[in-house]
A and B are shown apart, each in its own frame.
Chain A
Amino acid sequence: MVEKLTFTHPLSKYLRVDRLPHIWCEGCGNGIVLNCFIRALDELGANLDELVVVSGIGCIGRIAGYVNVDSFHTTHGRAIAIATGIKLANPRLKVVVISGDGDLFAIGGNHFIHAARRNVNLTVICVNNFNYGMTGGQLGPTTPLDSITTTSPYGNVESPFNLAHLAASSGAVYVARWTAFHIHELTKSIKASLKRRGFTFIEVISPCPELYGRYNKMGRGVDMMNWLKRVSEVRHGCDPAKAEVSSSKIVVGEFVSVDKPTYDQLIYQLMERVKGGSSVEGGG
């Protein structure tokens, strides 16, 4: 008699398995980021009923549909603003934003710098693949100089953002950068960021062999992974301004870790102070 064996992946409870397979291309780093994220949840023993994942539009934006928690796949660029509303309305919830470089830093750049400035208590993970993947490989705010994309066919003439530097100078209390190659370090950083209070930011440099890699002759997924391995240099505590991202060097590590009161702490403290009072009783 042949016994039928069924296996359940130990992490499947973190996923909406009825939504699988996912839409991401072969060689894409998004699945790795999703894997690291749910491993971090598992290792932390996170309460899945008090966790909200918010994403924007783009390839990685679809991650909100795969995680088995309350999740919001928002409009393009607005994930952080919507997450701000969720966190302030119910500070008990752990709110995580996972989105792409175009979504968070081009169309959504304003929300990013202001949420960091306010120190809104959010974990923000940016999957940076140097281009707009969902729409077919266009130039984005992190596309390196001279790169070829479908909207920079003669080479990119725009200077890219250094996301870690931008986050740090805007006020993030925790800033780290890893690549899709650094799965253990990334998982550790996600755990560290989930445990902290305040605006925490993790940049993940991620391969897009189908588009960015193809236009820039970087080979297949495995070649891009080898490239990330080869050019990465771990420098914890590095000044984010000097944490380079280029085709020949990617500085990774934990760059910033400071403590300061969070926006929701301050606003709820203020509320306790004035609660029950009435500035308008008896008049306009």
Chain B
Amino acid sequence: MLTGTHFLQGNAACAEGAIAAGCRFFAGYPITPSTEIAERMARRLPEVGGVFIQMEDEIGAIAAVIGASWAGVKAMTATSGPGFSLMQENIGLAAMTETPCVIVDVMRAGPSTGQPTKPSQQDVMQAKWGSHGDYEVIALSPASAQEMFDFTIECFNLAEEYRVPTILLADGFIAHAWERVVIPPPEEIKVVERKGPEAPPGDRLDLVPPMACFGRGYRVHVTGLTHDERGYPQADSVEVQRRLVKRLCDKIRANADRIVKTKAFALDDAEVVVIAYGAPSRPALKAVKMARENGLKAGLLRLITLWPFPEKDVIRLSSHVKAFIVLEMNYGQLVREVERAAKGTAVTLLSKLGEELHTPYEILRALKEVC
């Protein structure tokens, strides 16, 4: 296991985080700007007794990941916009079958082929709503190579804890940034292991939510059809559909307080709050510091969890702040969630399209305008 301090690319840090979390299966398909994750996993996984496979497309990649997870192995794939679109149907299957797995989406500029080498944050809504039907996922947003390592581990832990597909929603800036990454020794890394059923095979009511993987004698049936607690299809039952969909959503919604993480800077007396996630949260911090030096009561709410959306933080702040400024490298996506939670408090979007990242000066200018 790699430990110590290293100069790593964000994507390499992500791969090392996966290995530290116990990931021993990776299926992927080459796509910029996420390919380095697959390349590093191809090199590293066999060294630690894991399997790497380059599939024929991204649909196959997420499918193989779901299969590997049911065979009892922690599994991951990594992709970017077009590949993420192709994966959506099976992300829904993973949600429906409560399959723990991690999907890394290194966001590039779209729509369609867009700008393959240019960073963006244009898949934020797709990460939540990309597959059909009602379901919940968890998505985290890293803002440094160190967090590519740390949050990948966190994604695996959340996936196992809640039996849910978990998405590391990185952007091309962070994934391609080379930075200092500290990898602690394995005993200092918190790793959540899968909870299996405690009842012996045959006591079938206990199968869900503990996960009975294949080959353990439970004779489990897994289906994307609406199914009862035994796993049997009940495609015509209104009651089973209601119970299942509610539970798939509520296991995340009811635990949102435990899942959601944000970082606060200078929020206590802030009158104007910048909300940022991923790469833009770095110039945002600089801008808020500059604003404070200029006597402006500015603060920063950095979103680490994007899904479930940290609405309680926004609701709490909206009771006393004058305005929110939302930074996004898209034409306005998560800003809608902020507006929903802000309940009438003014919300301004600072949007960036293309390769450009917000500069601290333009954020400061926006702060001055509303302060």
Contact = CB atoms under 8 A, between A and B. Distances in A.
A74 interface: yes
Given A65-B233, A81-B67, A114-B60, A279 B44 contact: yes
A5 interface: no
A92 B89 contact: no
A260 to B, nearest CB: 18
Contacts of B7: 284
B43 interface: yes
B71 interface: yes
A70 B63 contact: no
A30 to B, nearest CB: 16
A271 interface: yes
Contact of A88 (B6, B53, B66): B53
A93 interface: yes
B75 A85 contact: yes
A111 interface: yes
A162 interface: no
A199 B269 CA distance: 66
Nearest to B222: A72
A64 B223 contact: yes
Interface string A46-82: 0011101010000000101100111111110110011
B64 A85 contact: yes
Contact of B49 (A52, A65, A111, A271): A271
A88 B12 contact: no
Given A276-B47, A283-B6, A88 B25 contact: yes
Interface string B1-41: 01000111100100010000000110100000000000010
Interface residues of A, number: 50
B47 A279 contact: yes
B46 A271 contact: yes
Contacts of A68: 219
A281 B4 CA distance: 10
B73 to A, nearest CB: 4
A246 interface: no
A284 B2 CA distance: 10
B210 interface: no
B93 interface: yes
B90 interface: yes
Contact of A73 (B8, B216, B221): B221
Contacts of B71: 85-87, 89-90, 93
B221 A78 contact: no
Interface string A108-143: 001100100000000000000000000000000000
A73 B223 contact: yes
B133 interface: no
A83 interface: yes
B225 interface: yes
Contacts of A74: 63, 93, 224
A68 B230 CA distance: 13
B217 interface: yes
A278 interface: yes
Given A50-B215, A64-B221, A281-B2, A82 B46 contact: no
B6 A275 contact: no
Given A70-B218, A74-B93, A81 B59 contact: yes
Given A69-B219, A89-B67, A275 B49 contact: yes
Nearest to B16: A280
Nearest to A93: B215
Given A90-B71, A111-B56, A280 B63 contact: no
Interface in B197-246: 214-225, 232-233
A19 interface: yes
B215 A90 contact: yes
Contact of A85 (B27, B56, B217): B27
A62 B232 CA distance: 11
Contacts of B191: none
A82 B60 CA distance: 7
Nearest to B220: A70
B55 interface: yes
Interface in B66-110: 66-73, 75, 89-90, 93
B220 A85 contact: no
B57 interface: yes
A284 B89 CA distance: 35
B266 interface: no
A258 interface: no
Contacts of B49: 271, 275
Interface centre among A16, A75, A85 (most CB of B within 10 A): A85
Contact of B68 (A49, A64, A89, A273): A89
Interface of A: 16, 18-19, 48-50, 52, 54, 62, 64-65, 68-75, 77-78, 81-90, 92-93, 110-111, 114, 267, 270-271, 273-281, 283-284
6 contacts: A48-B219, A65-B221, A77-B59, A89-B73, A114-B56, A280-B40
Interface of B: 2, 6-9, 12, 16, 24-25, 27, 40, 43-44, 46-51, 53, 55-57, 59-60, 63-73, 75, 89-90, 93, 178, 214-225, 232-233
